[in-house]
Amino acid sequence: MGSFVNSSRNGGGGGAVVDKGVDFAQYFCTYGFLYHQKEMLCDRVRMDAYFNAIFVNKQHFTGKVVLDVGTGSGILAIWSAQAGARKVYAVEATKMAEHARALVKANNLQDVVEVIEGSIEDITLPEKVDVIISEWMGYFLLRESMFDSVICARDRWLKPTGVMYPSHARIWVAPIRSGVGEHKMGDYQSTMDDWCDFVDETKTYYGVDMSVLSKPFAEEQKKYYLQTSLWNNLHPNQVIGSTAILKEIDCLTATVNDILEVRADICSSITLENTRFCGYGGWFDVHFRGRKEDPAQQEIELTTAPSVDNGTHWGQQVFLLHPPIRVSEGDNLSVSFSMNRSNENHRLMEVDFSCEIQPVSGKLIPRFSNKFYIE
């Protein structure tokens, strides 16, 4: 995830006005710390993909004007300059801009890279740009809603012949097996047992009956333990069925309306014999292809798919079923998916899965639905 500009209003249509102060307190503030930047800079998959995308496709940068949206430490702006850019505008909403400015100067690039502290919606550039580069991806790609600001930057500042880095993105999902669900259910049950003891003791010792709050407490804890998606580093052998694409994005043409709500109907076939369907695993990839009229010399992919030893700081998002369902090779899953932004915080997501299972042998398992929160 990049260090972000302040999305005070959504570009490309759609979305409500966001209170800048609240948004900064809830979200941007963490990106002003070097420890957070270091976590991303230590992600070798992330770093190698952007490094290779820039330096094997120098034709997109040499002599060109580049805009880095949410520059953070300034690493992408520095690479763009090293690849031969004539001018780089590096925009950053947080005080990390001061560190980026120092880093640019320490690398003797201050005559090429101009660090601008401010939100992309509010700043003004003296010229249009040939390239927009940004590391805008959040968990499950769209958490954090950073792409809104990239769209705004594109619509305001990219030349008609310009290119986007990355140029394309996809969201993936697959059925998985995992032992984490039992632990989360155990934690939930332990919490509810503790609540029951609390209610009994409060009535016994203090004469106040708290049981009227038991239902809202249970709903609160159920959301926390059982319905909130988990960050995980899945092993490929935890994927038990065929993968499917939920969403494809062309960064050159997508609008905010295109990503406000993601809907998909997909099918997956179980590929393991006699296993447990414990939930869904979700991840994303992005591609650096240039544009049709000006393609990359070499396409680079950054993927956050389950990996044996090459994971990213994004990991995967895991949506667990309680309880798991026994499935077998050849069983077919028919899944309907939807993802919307939270009403309380536009940078968080609410996800709905509904699934019908057609076993190879046996009776149809009727459609069941689950709601999850990406927080």
pLDDT digits (tens, 9 = 90+) for 188-235: 999 999 999 999 999 999 999 999 999 999 999 999 999 999 999 999
Over the stretch 157-199, which tens digit does the pLDDT of each residue have? 999 999 999 999 999 999 999 999 999 999 999 999 999 999 9
Q: What is the CATH number of domain 171-177+230-374?
A: 2.70.160.11
Instruction: Give the model's pLDDT for residue 5.
Output: 45
Pair 331, 358: CB distance under 8 Å: yes
**What are the boundaries of each domain within the chain?**
20-166, 171-177+230-374, 180-227
Distance CA 367, CA 36 (A): 42
- Residue 285 in contact with residue 167, Cβ under 8 Å? no
pTM: 0.89
Name the more confident of 27 and 305: 305
- The per-residue pLDDT for 337 is 98
What is the mean pLDDT of the segment spanning 341-346? 87
Choosing from 39, 92, 144, 261, which is the catalytic residue?
A: 144
Confidence of residue 19 (pLDDT cuts 50, 70, 90): low
Candidate list 117, 121, 135, 293, residue with the active-site label: 135
Q: Cα separation of 180 and 178, whole Å? A: 5
pLDDT band at 362 (very low <50, low <70, confident <90, very high): confident
Which string of b and e fits 152-190 if b means at least 16 CB within 10 Å?
Answer: bbbebbbeeebbbbbbbbbbbbbbbbbeebeebeeebee
**% the chain with pLDDT above 90:** 83
Measured distance CA(315)–CA(180) in Å, rounded: 15
pLDDT at 320: 97
Q: Across residues 275-302, what is the average pLDDT?
A: 97
Q: How far separated are the first and last CA of the chain, in Å rounded?
A: 15
Say which range, 163-172, 331-340, 341-350, has the weakest mean pLDDT: 341-350
Give the span between the Cα atoms of 238 and 355, in whole angstroms: 19
Q: Are strands 349-358 and 365-374 parallel, antiparallel or unpaired?
A: antiparallel
Fold equal for 20-166 and 171-177+230-374? no
**Which pLDDT does position 4 carry in this prediction?**
46
Q: In the predicted model, what is the mean pLDDT of residues 308-330?
A: 93
> What percentage of the chain carries pLDDT values higher than 70?
91
- The whole-number pLDDT of residue 29 equals 56
**135 included as an active-site residue:** yes
The CATH number of domain 20-166 is 3.40.50.150: yes
pLDDT score recorded for residue 9: 37
User: How far from 254 is each of 108, 196, 245, 285, CA to CA, in Å?
Assistant: 36, 50, 17, 16
